[in-house]
Amino acid sequence: MMDFEQNSNISGPSGADSSGKPPINYYNNPRQVRVKNKRGWGLFWGILFGLSVLVNAMLFLVIIGIVTVFAAGQSSSINERVIYYGPRTSKIAVINLYGIIDGETAQEAARQLSIAAKDKNVKAIILRVDSPGGTISGSDQIHNEILKARNDWDVPVVAFMRNIAASGGYYCSVACEKIIAEPTTITGSIGVIMGYLVMQELLEGKLGINPVIIKSGERKDWPSSFSKPTQEQIDYLQQKVIQPAFRRFVNIVADGRTMLTVFDVERLADGSIFAAEEALQENLIDGIGYFDDAVKQAQELAGIDKAQVVEYVKPFSFTSFWGASEKTVLSLDKKTLLELSTPEVMYLWSIH
């Protein structure tokens, strides 16, 4: 009887218990195995995806680092682009002077002029100008670098004027041996201009701001952006700033254009602009033509019949691209406000 009770809970051959239901086998159940396998593969692919993201992020950072280092190394380099093909042993280098002349423009022009002058295969240089002028310092630096190329390195330089070569653009051009202008060129504008903002009414009348200026002498803040200039202040600036810069401009033109006397230049130096025909009549330029004519003039001065004409271009740089993007953002910081309120003396043809 005891044996029967003890054996009564043992399932039979069919695997059924006393209730008649088959027992659950957790090791051999196909559905449980599939769920377990899916979880395992999901974990595997999740780890693999995470590692892939991490590796790609690290690879991206490495590439950015390599590009940045390469760009920094290339920032001081420059490439030649061929305009006209010819013998490489007889090259004419074209230096482009475009837009407003400032310190950065002057540095780049000086660098290119130095590269061209030191290249033994460069037999002549063409300064291709399309500029209304700019800062006095920048214009004077470029003028000096052209004279250095001519005198120290004995390389002839021809100026080729395109759309506009006025004021500082002309100041740079007169350092060249010959000046060729397109028929539609506007040049001249020999003179000096200075401008600054007077914000007195805006600050005091509109915003209720009263600037306080503490100075060591009466003329320390002449001219001031916080008050309208008096006639005494204007006369003072004419004497101290405008006239010295003007006299230098006149003398530079007289030295560069040997067919003109100082008196001749003074007659033309009232800020007037000249079309190409009138500029030729006044001996401000040597000829009217196009780029091919400037090339022929350069070949003649260099004593060569054929030449490969090249220009210098900067290679693409991520650093310069990002820098250019940053410049588009308007930032009214302390430095910008000071620049806006500081008077600037210019060799510039300016239309207000």
Is there a catalytic annotation at residue 220?
Answer: yes
Instruction: Quickly tell me which residue has 């490495």 as its tokens.
Output: 62
Distance of CA 159 to the CA centre of its chain: 22
The set of long-range contacts for 24-27, using a CB threshold of 8 Å and a minimum separation of 24, is: none
Q: Is 306 tagged catalytic?
A: no
Strand partners for 309: 84, 92
Catalytic residue chosen out of the listed positions 36, 215, 220, 240: 220
CA–CA separation, 128 vs 331, rounded Å? 33
Tokens 């022009």 label which residue? Answer: 109
Helices (H), the chain: 2-6, 30-74, 103-118, 136-151, 168-173, 200, 231-237, 243-256, 262-268, 276-281, 291-302, 318-327, 334-341
Strand partners for 161:
129, 181
**Active-site choice (90, 139, 167, 189):** 167
Give the span between the Cα atoms of 303 and 214, in whole angstroms: 63
Distance CA(297)–CA(309), nearest Å, equals 13
Q: Which residues are catalytic?
A: 167, 220
